[in-house]
Structure 1
Amino acid sequence: MTISFLHRLAEQQLPIAVSRGADIDAVRVLALAGHVKATIPGPMRTLDGYAQPPATVTAITSLGQSMLRRFPRR
């Protein structure tokens, strides 16, 4: 799932804001793996619980570019 998300990011103009919860989780995994550079703010406390502000992907790293070549989209 994260490699397909990396392919989706590569098709878009960066920087890009990501706001869906599952997409933010994918950005978090890709950033921890060193495939993207991103700013991921912590959750904010609200009256209903917590809200996750959007994450911003600023770049795909050289390692991320290598992964895109190694695992091409089908």
Structure 2
Amino acid sequence: MPTALLHRIAHSRLPHVLTNDPDIEAIRPLILAGLVKAAMQVTLDPWGGGPQPGIVVREITPEGRRALEGRRTE
């Protein structure tokens, strides 16, 4: 489970946009485990580039918060 990414998302402002391939791969297990709510959409490059595909994380679920606290997510 990519908990480092979950911690990074928890310490950022939501919605949190992921556009690089390693982050997009790492978010998938978090979505499937129900730890975050996210959707793929076209996003704008913050550095002035054109539109690109990205994953927009809108919420860390209660299960995700429990995982951050180190408790079981039953």
After TM superposition, is the score higher than 0.5? yes
Q: Between the two proteins, what is the percent identity of the paired residues?
A: 41
Q: Higher strand fraction: Structure 1 or Structure 2? A: 2
| Aligned residue in 1 for 2:59 | 59
Q: Higher helix fraction: Structure 1 or Structure 2? A: 1
Q: Aligned pairs, how many?
A: 61
Question: Unpaired runs of 5+ in structure 1?
Answer: 42-51
TM-score by length of 2: 0.75
Distance 2:9 2:64 in 1: 11
Q: Give 4+ residue runs of structure 1 displaced > 2 Å after superposition.
A: none
Question: Unpaired runs of 5+ in structure 2?
Answer: 42-51
| Aligned residue in 2 for 1:49 | none
- Given that residues 27 and 57 in structure 1 are in contact (C-alpha distance below 8 angstroms), is that contact kept between their aligned partners in structure 2? no
